[in-house]
Amino acid sequence: MADRVFNFSAGPATLPEPVLRQAQQDVWDLYGTGIGILEHSHRGKAFDRVTAETEAACREIANIGDDYSVFWMQGGATSQCYFVPANFLPEDRTADYFQTGKWAQDSIDEVHHYGTVHICGSSKDANYNHIPTGSQVSYSDNPVYVHYTSNNTIMGTQFREPPAAPGNAFLVCDASSDIYSRPIDINAHGLIYAGAQKNLGPSGITLLIARKDLVEEAVRPLPEMMKFSNHAKKEGRYNTPNTFGVYLMGQVFKWILDQGGLTAVEQINEEKAGVLYDFLDGQDFYIPHAETESRSRMNVTFKCPTPELDKQFVQQAAEKGLDGLKGHRSIGGMRASIYNAHPKAGCEALVSFMKEFAMENAVTRA
Ligand SMILES: *Cc1c(COP(=O)(O)O)cnc(C)c1O
């Protein structure tokens, strides 16, 4: 079998090697049942155990209390763009949204079907190169909730801490690309959701951590599949879940605990991102996209002096076993996605390549 390469893909992304090895076995035979994880009924005993273990590990990592439900849904994080306002926002009320990138914008675009949206902070005019803070933030009078995207996967920006929601408003966080990459204050939030394919597992499954009182009942009549209440009450088994996804998330949660939990994981992530940012700060060939204060520890975005060089960079890097570095089409350039499971050696290999490439293509910048 060919060696694995350093995978910088934004998602689906690198998974921890011990998890992949365990999964190889469990696809063949789970818990000695003679049946693989892909073949077990979602109502059977083996899958009861998978569900229980995944939920327990998820709770242990972030100290999630009994006043919160932990469950999962299908449809990716993108479906939460409408699930959230449909369940939470009455027609005559307003929800505040941070406009910090493409995924934030997708959420904003769905709100008008249900109620009123107020943009409480935006970096759109600066091509989303920072997170609005301080005087750049202005909430509406009495929002039901405040929605923010903790890590902007495409732009490479990240909230340092959750914004402070005003009055009785609760916080809703799209944490798809930095969930469990650092300690998280669950109790500061009404709902945290995360598509699994960046930090937790395969695509097609979304983790939800929700305050129980908020998901007891939707604010309007909805189709059954759209009600948070049904999914929360049935432990993510209102209909057939992505059973393999639930299993794999559980394995990744256990791996996070084995690493020493979120404080340890955060430290490793800081070191990894530090390798790249320290290099970027000490040179003048590459142009970083994010402002220093808003830099993401998960997605590092930068450009060469010309789009032509960007293309060559991505191609030559791939030839050297550094895969998936092409930036999103909306900002171009490069993006190195270095989620929890991406090894520090990948960051070091990338910096070596960046040095070589800069030397070979040195040009005087205007
Ligand atoms: C990847 C991503 C999404 C979209 O996830 P899907 O599974 O494709 O729906 C949404 N929000 C953020 C922050 C993401 O990184």
Q: Which residues line ligand 1 (CB under 6 A)?
A: 11, 76-78, 103, 149, 153, 174, 176-177, 195, 198, 203
Report the pLDDT value the prediction gives residue 210, as an integer from 0 to 100: 98
H/E/C letters for each residue in 126-189?
A: HCCCCCCCHHHCCCCCCCCEEEEECEECCCCEECCCCCCCCCCCEEEEECCCCCCCCCCCHHHC
Numbers of helices and strands, H then E, in the chain: 9, 14
Distance 285 CA to ligand 1 centre (A): 31
Distance 312 CA to ligand 1 centre (A): 28
**Mutate which of 103, 191, 301 for ligand 1 pocket (most atoms within 8 A of beta carbon):** 103
Report the pLDDT value the prediction gives residue 322, as an integer from 0 to 100: 98
- Spacing of C-alpha 158 from chain mean position: 11
Distance 206 CA to ligand 1 centre (A): 9
Report the pLDDT value the prediction gives residue 253, as an integer from 0 to 100: 98
- Hey, whose CA ends up nearest to atom 11 of ligand 1? 103
| Angle, CA 364 vertex, CA 346 and CA 156 arms, to 5° | 35
SS3 of 358, please?
Answer: helix
- Hey, whose CA ends up nearest to atom 3 of ligand 1? 77
Answer for the pair 252, 200: CB distance below 8 angstroms, yes or no.
Answer: yes
Distance 173 CA to ligand 1 centre (A): 12
Answer for the pair 195, 76: CB distance below 8 angstroms, yes or no.
Answer: yes
Distance 80 CA to ligand 1 centre (A): 10
Distance 174 CA to ligand 1 centre (A): 8
**Mutate which of 106, 177, 180 for ligand 1 pocket (most atoms within 8 A of beta carbon):** 177
Please state the atom number of ligand 1 nearest to the C-alpha of residue 103: 11
- Hey, whose CA ends up nearest to atom 2 of ligand 1? 176
SS3 of 203, please?
Answer: coil
pLDDT tens across the length of the chain (366 residues):
468 999 999 999 999 999 999 999 999 999 999 999 999 999 999 999 999 999 999 999 999 999 999 999 998 999 999 999 999 999 999 999 999 999 999 999 999 999 999 999 999 999 999 999 999 999 999 999 999 999 999 999 999 999 999 999 999 999 999 999 999 999 999 999 999 999 999 999 999 999 999 999 999 999 999 999 999 999 899 999 999 999 999 999 999 999 999 999 999 999 999 999 999 999 999 999 999 999 999 999 999 999 999 999 999 999 999 999 999 999 999 999 999 999 999 999 999 999 999 999 986 554
Residues catalogued as catalytic: 103, 174, 198
- Hey, whose CA ends up nearest to atom 5 of ligand 1? 77
Residue ranges and CATH numbers for the domains of the chain are 6-16+260-365 (3.90.1150.10), 31-259 (3.40.640.10)
Please state the atom number of ligand 1 nearest to the C-alpha of residue 77: 9
**Mutate which of 73, 128, 176, 198 for ligand 1 pocket (most atoms within 8 A of beta carbon):** 176
Token match 């799209």: residue?
174
Report the pLDDT value the prediction gives residue 366, as an integer from 0 to 100: 47
Answer for the pair 27, 225: CB distance below 8 angstroms, yes or no.
Answer: no
Please state the atom number of ligand 1 nearest to the C-alpha of residue 79: 9
Please state the atom number of ligand 1 nearest to the C-alpha of residue 78: 9
Please state the atom number of ligand 1 nearest to the C-alpha of residue 152: 13
Query: What 8-state DSSP symbol labels residue 295?
Result: B
Report the pLDDT value the prediction gives residue 47, as an integer from 0 to 100: 98
Length of the chain: 366
Report the pLDDT value the prediction gives residue 362, as an integer from 0 to 100: 87
